[in-house]
Structure 1
Amino acid sequence: MLVAGVAIVVLFLAGVAMQATGSPEQTAATTAPASRKPVEPGVGDRVRDGKFEFVVSGVDCSRTTVGSELLKRTAKGRYCVVSLSVRNIGDRSRYFVGGAQKAFDARGISYGNEEIAGIYANRNTQTFLDKLEPGERAAGKLVFDVPRGVRLTRLELHDSLLSGGADVHLGKR
């Protein structure tokens, strides 16, 4: 009789424990999904640094020259021409500084914007040489001279030479 009483108590406690913890099927269904890696901004996305908002609309790394037939600049490797727009989201006039912009390859090597090639590439378009008033947007091209065989993976766009920068991931092109 004592054995029967102990067995009933054990079964009762087992039932309480199962209700408290739930069955394996219930536990699996209520487990939160694995956290996903945040989506990194890429081509076409808006990013901000300081008082500027940037949108990269395209990257063309197929060129060895920029400019016209009579007035052109030749790359040491190849040119990666980045088309982007910059909008002043601040409350006073600001200049976009092309020399503050950087590009990186998969090994983390940094490449600076080649401003003279940028002048050639921006012929007949609104460039970044003008002051941007609050709310005003300018579109143009940044030009990076990279060694042949190097693939750019990321741009770091800056409001100024001293700002933290905003990353734009280039992904597979």
Structure 2
Amino acid sequence: QLARDLSDTQRKVADQSATLDNRLRPLEPQKVSLDGKEFQADPEEKRQFDAAMGLIRRGDFNEAVSAFTTFLTRFPASGYSDSVRFWLGNAQYGKRDYKGAIATFKAFVAANPDHPRAAESLLAIANCQIELKDTKSARKTLDDLQKAYPGSEAARAAKERAAGLR
């Protein structure tokens, strides 16, 4: 009888431990891989980033700008921060805040020249300059892009875009 009681107690403790693990797991930091970078993110960080990206995908650029700005305020040292700045620039572009987008993309490239999206950011800057009818600056940005990231997809697009500006 004593052995059976001990066995039952051990099984109950194991079940409670498994239940507790299952309840706590969603609250623990998760390993994230984004834009060639791996880092730990707490679930709220991940949830807010995913929600902001959902706004971008739906084309709700006003709300996306707000969500990304809030994210950077709440999680300034987040592993998501670089990507958030890139997508913030895209959201600003989407809502036709070209000057704001240029500032965001320039700061992003200055801080992250080796980021996988740096070349794309320069192309976005040129697109903003074209929208602002600043073709001289756009030409220079497209030229800088081709020199800095010669093998990139963005450089190929920049070459085509520059040919269309002449």
Q: TM-score, normalised by structure 1?
A: 0.30
**Structure of higher CA gyration radius:** 1
Structure having the larger proportion of residues in strand: 1
Higher relative contact order (CA 8 A, sep 6+): 1
Structure having the larger proportion of residues in helix: 2
